[in-house]
Amino acid sequence: MKISGKEKKIKAVIFDWGGVLIDNPAPGLLKYCSQEIGVSRIKLASIFSRLKDPFQKGTLPEKSLWEKIRRDMNVSEETVNCIWGNAFREVYSEKKEVFSLVEALQKSGYVTAILSNTELSAVKFFEEKKYSMFDVKIFSCLEKTIKPEPLIYKITLDRLKLDPAECLFIDDKKINVSAAKKAGMKAILFRNVRQLKKNLRAYSVSWD
């Protein structure tokens, strides 16, 4: 893959959080929560899959999430608390090399952004980390829309104030990458750091 000289120069690089900047937290989150409330992880995952979108859109508060789960799984009210934030902290695992790459890109003059489907308690944790390498931060729960919905890409572009063709989006899910391309962005499907760096250079993105 090599872009032609007629392509617009990339000015912004947008990173997904879970699966790109950090190890995918979903398995660990469900394991932690199932152990905390003493239920089957498989059954919890099944119920959570139906509630994930409104939870990540911020339209289903965490208290309501656990109330629904409690009713569906016949768990006592005293057993289930708002534990998502604690679970997230427990399983959070940075991909140090990707974070270093973001920092290097920012220092090289690129606008750097994070675009993530995530929950309010996770955003609170993100803010506590005080990361300085992201110029623009877009979180689904604050915008009331999630990837791959077109609106969240429009919001991202509006915040960046750039032409879509000047923006490069990185995600580990094909559906989100396809949606970014439909929005006019360049996009990379993330597999590993080595592959990411190779694809970035193919777009003439440099940071060394």
For 96-147, write each residue's pLDDT tens digit.
999 999 999 999 999 999 999 999 999 999 999 999 999 999 999 999 999 9
Three-state SS for the chain is CCCCCCCCCCCEEEECCECCCECCCHHHHHHHHHHHHCCCHHHHHHHHHHHHHHHHHCCCCHHHHHHHHHHHHCCCCCCCCCCHHHHHHHHCCECHHHHHHHHHHHHCCCEEEEEECCCHHHHHHHHHHCCCCCCEEEEHHHHCCCCCCHHHHHHHHHHHCCCHHHEEEEECCHHHHHHHHHCCCEEEECCCHHHHHHHHHHCCCCCC
Model pTM score: 0.93
* Beta carbons of 183 and 140 less than 8 angstroms apart: no
In this prediction, residues 61-70 reach a mean pLDDT of 89
pLDDT tens across 2-51, in order?
444 467 899 999 999 999 999 999 999 999 999 988 889 999 999 999 99
pLDDT tens across 67-91, in order?
888 888 887 765 556 799 999 999 9
pLDDT tens across 134-188, in order?
999 999 999 999 999 999 999 999 999 999 999 999 999 999 999 999 999 999 9
